[in-house]
Chains A and B, each alone.
Chain A
């Protein structure tokens, strides 16, 4: 049946071997790259579904940080809480933005495998795509709020510094942090269903140990402030603020945060891959 002509015309076929997997698995980046279109489509799907049949559409993204900023300004700043020398609304809003990006992406990633269980049991693609797509969807809301932040800064005459060029780096780290923790949580969530409730509680608690509604300068001792960096979002939020309007000056806290994020991310990748093979059986 196969002639020389057949061999010439038909390109060589892809070969694949399926075997039982044991222990730690390498991360197959090439395969994830191969499925990049699916990553995009899943993210777009989540965004489309979220805003279909809504009246205000994407404006919902703005309402939460706006009202929180108003409440914090009236409740805290007016009562003497420090806002690190910058006008209160800008201080709170610029802290809330990266925080809400992180919190939203983390919740979405943590629940992503459970929410897509019908896909996991019926189709093959690298499962890493699912939490990654969930994390990306937060960027739309972020973009809307960011536009408002620019308006807010203009209104209060807070001018941006040259550090604003580094803004994308901090946004990226916020997403990376959400993905890192999200990988751990989503993998655990598949097996232990109470992780879903843990996520809510975790985010709430995390909010208070991150310098969103207070500046890290209220911690006076230097090494204690560096310790604050073990919470990876500390470095991200403060870095975001610094790149916007130049305060506070970056210190060892940022470095500690970056290291923590990278460690969590790499650890999360390996844990996720190790548990991946049980997903379809357990979910």
Chain B
């Protein structure tokens, strides 16, 4: 018995795409193609006319027992393919994997759930599909139902459940799997915030019980909180393997590099009267310095915006807005807040600069939007997606990593002081400390 739970050596996976023979072929077409290739004299067959797509290229790593490893990467990097191969759903093209221990795979919540069956029946079905024996399921049945909070509905068909109940039940079964090695694929992305909190709590509990966990997630907060180690996949290759904070920073750096250089605003989608237009934008991560695509949490962000006037501009406001990936407005700074206005004559160009002293956004991708005009009176130029900004975690401090979703941090102070019980109080238990 070694210390290694999963040993991957030279793993590659090739898919052949775009062949003349369709993926879901018909027997008739295949027979016709076979006849054609016999008749043809040049010896070429229609088979390998497709392109090879390597989903994984020569990936190697080792995971020891009781390690918790997070795999991150862009969509299409090969993460799900890696998990599928480790779960024996698909075969590798080359390479070898040695696994020691019982594997439980969670590639999807609710695998095998049938809408016509009741919650109780689906627990047994799903549990059996995931590899639990009937005895195990019986033993854990009460816990599963309690975790999912569906005691009242356990005997109604699952098709009547709300999506929240469905997902709680599905995860409830999966959470009570007891394999030696747990392989999880982005299942934490479902459900509301309360549910995600519960899932992450359960995952860390499972981790504390000494299981080996390998999981894929886009939730960087979860990765840095749960994992002792992280692997970055990019276009099928394992490009980095190390402490989560470093790997996550590398991930964001690569993301930022892949964005187009978009300082030129002349071609952006815009609305407004266009009496004046935004011509270019430059984003720097400090008050002096080169324009960047990636900045750190808590950095000083300087944005220089160039405005060209075609017509006279009177008493106009320039606003800089930062949106998150879902288009939700997070930060809004504009000249009017500082009692400043932009006035330009036709043909003049101005540079409007904003200096955000401490940008307390959490690591993610954000969009910068620009607005020029007179509040309530006129919209002169409005570009919703002027530039992209990627925020990476601050490498020195781990203070900002928390389990819960949400984009914004805040500066705050806290203190603890003892409170004297007064004689007029009734027999209420008083807290020992209070934040002020």
Contacts and interface: CB of A to CB of B under 8 A. Distances in A.
Given A38-B129, A122-B107, A281 B90 contact: yes
Contact of B117 (A15, A45, A193): A45
Contacts of B90: 277, 280-281
Interface in A119-178: 119-125
B186 to A, nearest CB: 13
B267 interface: no
A193 B87 contact: no
A281 B92 contact: no
Contacts of A2: 3
A121 B105 CA distance: 12
Give the 8 A-B CB pairs with smallest separation, nearest first: A18-B97, A124-B88, A13-B101, A41-B128, A194-B26, A16-B99, A192-B27, A277-B91
Contacts of B101: 13-14
Given A13-B180, A18-B96, A118-B111, A7 B1 contact: yes
B25 interface: yes
Q: Is the interface of A mostly helix, strand, loop or mixed?
A: mixed
A119 B134 CA distance: 19
The interface size bin for chain B is 35 or more
A164 to B, nearest CB: 35
Interface of B: 1, 3, 15, 23-28, 30, 66, 84-103, 105, 107-108, 111-112, 114, 116-117, 121, 124-125, 128-131, 133-134, 157, 180
Contact of B84 (A12, A48, A280): A280
Contact of B100 (A15, A38, A121, A124): A15
B27 A19 contact: no
Contacts of B131: 125
B105 A123 contact: yes
Interface of A: 1-2, 7, 12-21, 37-38, 41, 45, 48-49, 52-53, 118-125, 188, 191-195, 198, 277, 280-282
Contacts, number: 116
Contacts of B24: 191-193, 282
A280 B89 contact: yes
Contacts of A15: 98-100
Contacts of B91: 18, 20-21, 277
Nearest to A124: B88
A12 B180 CA distance: 11
Given A18-B88, A192-B30, 9 more contacts: A2-B3, A17-B96, A38-B128, A48-B116, A123-B111, A125-B129, A125-B131, A194-B27, A277-B91
A191 B29 CA distance: 12
A133 to B, nearest CB: 11
Given A45-B114, A49-B117, A119-B112, A20 B100 contact: no
B133 to A, nearest CB: 6
B114 A194 contact: no
Contact of B129 (A48, A119, A188): A119
B15 to A, nearest CB: 7
A49 B116 contact: yes
A193 B25 CA distance: 6
Contacts of B86: 18
B111 A119 contact: yes
B125 A45 contact: yes
A136 to B, nearest CB: 15
20 contacts: A13-B102, A13-B180, A15-B99, A15-B100, A16-B98, A18-B86, A20-B92, A45-B114, A45-B125, A48-B116, A49-B116, A52-B116, A52-B157, A118-B111, A119-B112, A123-B87, A125-B131, A192-B30, A282-B23, A282-B24
A282 B125 CA distance: 25
A13 B100 contact: yes
Nearest to B28: A194
A30 to B, nearest CB: 16
Given A37-B134, A124-B87, A281-B15, A19 B107 contact: no
Nearest to B11: A18
A99 to B, nearest CB: 26
A37 B128 contact: yes
Contacts of B88: 18, 124
B19 to A, nearest CB: 12
A123 B86 CA distance: 11
Contact of A19 (B28, B84, B96): B96
Contacts of B111: 118-119, 122-123
B93 A20 contact: yes
Residue in A1, A14, A192 with the greatest tally of chain B CB atoms within 10 Å: A192
A13 B1 contact: yes
A191 B25 contact: yes
B99 A20 contact: no
B129 A123 contact: yes
A122 B92 contact: no
B1 A18 contact: no
Contacts of A20: 91-95
B125 A124 contact: no
Contacts of B96: 17-19
B85 to A, nearest CB: 7
Nearest to B31: A192
Contacts of B27: 188, 192, 194-195, 198
